[in-house]
Structure 1
Amino acid sequence: MVAIALDIGATKFAAATVDSNGIPENPQRIAVPESGVWAACHELLTAVAAGQRVTSVGIGSAGPVDIAAGVSGPLNIPEWAAGFPLVESVRKLFPEAEIRFAIDGACLALAEQRLGAARGADNALCMTVSSGIGGGVISDGRVVMGRTGNAGHVGHIVVPGNEEPCACGGFGCVEAVASGKSAVRWARRQGWTGTTGVELAAAARAGTPIAVAALERAGTAIGAAVASAAALLDTDLVVIGGGFAQSGEPLWGPLRAAAAAHARLAFLRELRVTPSELTDQATLRGAAILALPGA
């Protein structure tokens, strides 16, 4: 018998078996294909299960989601953007399993609260800054899910001074300005010739002017969003993880400066913005916690 954790990301899927302490073991990852998305996910889960009887599955998915309906609708996965019946599909694959499903930001918050930089915090905002931007909320010691399961979806806070169109249909969302994909897109419009957020961050650390400007723009937008969300939630801790969040000082310097410039209310004076301790495994670790009975 085995429990499985599944992380549905915008650009990759990850899955692992889960040990008795809620830690994912021997994770396997695949890139999200342009088509045949469920077939690829099915193959991944089958490989991880390796013929064992699966008794529980914890799923963390990029959003938006509809938890009651068991539907995943990541904006960055076109084939699923209108809504894919993820829980029903996993249940058909593992009919004996108990399935627990949450948005990736809630899994991130759960993992940070149990294992990471939010240990011991009763109130915190946990964010992921990667190909997209998401988040989860810890309030009065509990991870908040919200009406449909999308609480903490901070990527769609609108940041001042930006009119970038967003995949959600709006414009000026911090995800449209400051995610890794968005920063790369902006830099390329300015003449930079690289293609990935990792390359952009390396160029910024090396002092390439366009890359420096791109990360300053992204960090400033994230910092403004952090201050707004912290004021709304009355929290003094924001934890930020994800691949693009590992870009170093060219991103974090402007981020912290913008957060400090906007967080001027008395109850925000002690606001701390800190990197995740769990890097890019946070969502999978949260999904693993979900997979444990009684989590």
Structure 2
Amino acid sequence: MQNHLVAALDIGGTKIAGALVDGAGRILVRAQRPTPAQEDGDTVMRAVGQVLGELTASPLWARAEAVGIGSAGPVDASLGTVSPVNIPGWRGYPLVERVRQLTGRLPVELIGDGVAITAAEHWQGAAQGYDNALCMVVSTGVGGGLVLGGKLHPGPTGNAGHIGHISVDLDGDPCPCGARGCVERIASGPNIARRALDGGWQPGADRDTSAAAVAAAARAGHPVALASFERAAQALAASIAATATLVEIEIAVIGGGVAKAGDVLFTPLRRALRDYATLSFVQNLTVTPAMTGTDAGLVGAAAAALGSGARVGAGASA
């Protein structure tokens, strides 16, 4: 498989990344553009086209056998469409067909971004060797995916494990998805920062109001910053424990930009997990950072295209 080559796209609310990836998961060529997330759908697609344009210009493109896409969700792999919560211009957007038009009609495999990180972590990362795992990406949004019985479990439309949009606060803040108190509304990077600002935290001289800046303040002992991360950790712990109780996962792997906060996130998360994962068969659940880093979405999308245990079915390849 090492001689195989595929194209991969990782589409999120902040960036659109692309790569040519070989059968060993090595990224040989990469390209990236900011996501014009608040623009109309065709403007977003033009950014995707620019990324693909850089890939198709590579001499290696001639070897590309397929395209894998990991996209912010929800996605519908059976129809080849995407409706990302954080890209409002895409609702039922025919992404697979548009990508096929730009890539010489290569086969295209579509999975959600949470499923993509799961494919990457099970193939090359912290979930290797585990038959039952939850892998999460906590960043601009919160997504996830499941490995059950040793195999990726994307579900009929490619959204199984979409943990960011389960409610952990029944009377909580409205979420853009339409529900209330979703994990994403509490634990995503922008919401960690929003809560810290609402609580009176002030950014430094650089005026950086990102979750990374809040994490730095938390490491320095700022009580409001610490409280915001503890609230995020509590939401994540509740959702992880619920998932473990439902399907008996053995490990929860957490990646994405917010996970870079390190102990600021993981220490209160593991502490809160003891309050929620109380039944005997979930008490030994392991929680660990992802290993595949910022390239997880690309590696996972490539895994889908390569069919490395991550194929989501022919529906997205039409």
**8 Å Cα contact 2:169/2:180 also seen in 1:** no
TM-score by length of 1: 0.95
Distance in 1 (alpha carbons) for counterparts of 2:32 and 2:233? 28
Distance in 1 (alpha carbons) for counterparts of 2:30 and 2:173? 36
The corresponding residue for 2:221 is 207
Matching of residues 2-151 of structure 1 within 5 Å: 3-33=6-36, 34-35=38-39, 36-50=43-57, 52-53=61-62, 54-80=64-90, 82-151=91-160
Q: Does 1:249 align with 2:263?
A: yes
**8 Å Cα contact 1:162/1:177 also seen in 2:** no
Matching of residues 171-210 of structure 1 within 5 Å: 171-194=180-203, 195-210=209-224
Structure 2 SS opposite 1:4: strand
Distance in 2 (alpha carbons) for counterparts of 1:139 and 1:198? 33
Q: Deviations over 1:187-229 (max 9, x none)?
A: 1112223321111111111112211111111111111111111
Distance in 1 (alpha carbons) for counterparts of 2:181 and 2:221? 27
**8 Å Cα contact 2:130/2:250 also seen in 1:** no
Distance in 2 (alpha carbons) for counterparts of 1:158 and 1:148? 21
**8 Å Cα contact 1:55/1:96 also seen in 2:** no
**8 Å Cα contact 2:133/2:147 also seen in 1:** yes
Q: Does 1:152 align with 2:155?
A: no
Structure 2 SS opposite 1:268: coil
**8 Å Cα contact 1:17/1:49 also seen in 2:** no
Structure 1 SS opposite 2:278: coil
Q: Decide which moves more: 158-167 or 205-214.
A: 158-167
**Aligned residue identity for 1:271:** L
Count, aligned residues: 294
**Aligned residue identity for 2:164:** G
Q: Deviations over 1:242-271 (max 9, x none)?
A: 110111222211111111111111111211
**Aligned residue identity for 2:216:** A
- Report % sequence identity: 45
TM-score by length of 2: 0.88
The corresponding residue for 1:283 is 297
CA RMSD of aligned residues (A): 1.6
Q: Decide which moves more: 168-177 or 249-258.
A: 249-258
**Aligned residue identity for 1:72:** V
Distance in 1 (alpha carbons) for counterparts of 2:31 and 2:232? 31
How far off its partner does 1:162 sit? Answer: 5.7
Q: Which runs of 5+ in 1 are unaligned?
A: none
Distance in 1 (alpha carbons) for counterparts of 2:112 and 2:308? 19
Distance in 2 (alpha carbons) for counterparts of 1:201 and 1:120? 31
Q: Decide which moves more: 163-172 or 183-192.
A: 183-192
Q: Deviations over 1:2-41 (max 9, x none)?
A: 5211001121111011123233223222210132110111
Distance in 2 (alpha carbons) for counterparts of 1:148 and 1:209? 42
Q: Deviations over 1:53-96 (max 9, x none)?
A: 3431011111101111101111011211x221100100111134
**Aligned residue identity for 1:124:** A
**Aligned residue identity for 2:173:** E
Q: Which runs of 5+ in 2 are unaligned?
A: 204-208, 310-318
